[in-house]
Amino acid sequence: MIVAAATPAQGRVTESRMPSGAVTIQQGDFDLSGEIAALRGDDVQVGAVASFVGTVRERSDGSRVSAMELEHYPGMTEKAIDAMIDEARRRFDIRRVRVVHRVGVLRPGDQIVLVAVTSGHRHDAFQACEFLMDYLKTQAPFWKKETTPDGERWVDARVDDDAALARWGVQMGNAG
C-alpha cells in the first residue's frame, strides 16, 4: 500500500510504502463504506466490525473553530500507529485493523480519523477499537492547531485523554 502524506509546512505530498496496509495518513477525505468493505474483504470468520469516525467540532474549549490544521512526522507517525495496532493484537482477539488519519487543513464537520476493527465477536472488536482510539489521542505524533475568532492556537493533550488511556493500564501523563 502506498501512503501519501504531507504537512502544511512542507506543501508537498510524499509517499511511503507501508508493509501492513493497516495505516494510511492522507490529506483527502475517506469513504467509510469503502474502507469497511475492504477491511472485511471475503473473511467469513468476521462476526463483528466496530468503527469510530472522528470529526472536526465547531466549538472547542468554548470557542468557535473555523479550521483545524493537523501536521505529522511522515514515517514516524505510521510506525507509532503500527505499534499501537500490534499492542491491540496482543490484548484482543481481532482479525483486521484499519486506521486512516487525515492531515492538512480541515473544517468543522470534516472527518479526521477512522479506526475500524474486525473480530469474531463484538466484545473484542469494540474494546480494540476503543483502545486504539484512546491510544491515538495521546500517543500518535500529530500536532493540531485550531483557528478561532481570537486567532490560532495549538491544541494540548487533555487530562481526560490521559485518563482514558490509563484505564487500559497505560500511564503517560501528556497533559500539562
Strands 111-119 and 48-55: antiparallel
pLDDT of residue 15: 34
For residue 82, the SS3 value is helix
pLDDT of residue 46: 96
pLDDT of residue 92: 97
Domain 2-166 is in which class? alpha beta
pLDDT of residue 61: 82
Which stretches in the chain have pLDDT values below 70? 1-20, 157-159, 161-162, 164, 171-176
Q: 66: Cβ–Cβ under 8 A, 6 or more apart, which residues?
A: 107, 108, 147, 148, 149
pLDDT of residue 53: 98
Rounded to 5°, angle at Cα 141 from 39 and 53: 40
pLDDT of residue 125: 98
pLDDT of residue 159: 61
pLDDT of residue 171: 67
Contact between residue 46 and residue 40 where contact means Cβ atoms under 8 Å apart: yes
pLDDT of residue 7: 37
Boundaries of every domain in the chain: 2-166
For residue 45, the SS3 value is coil
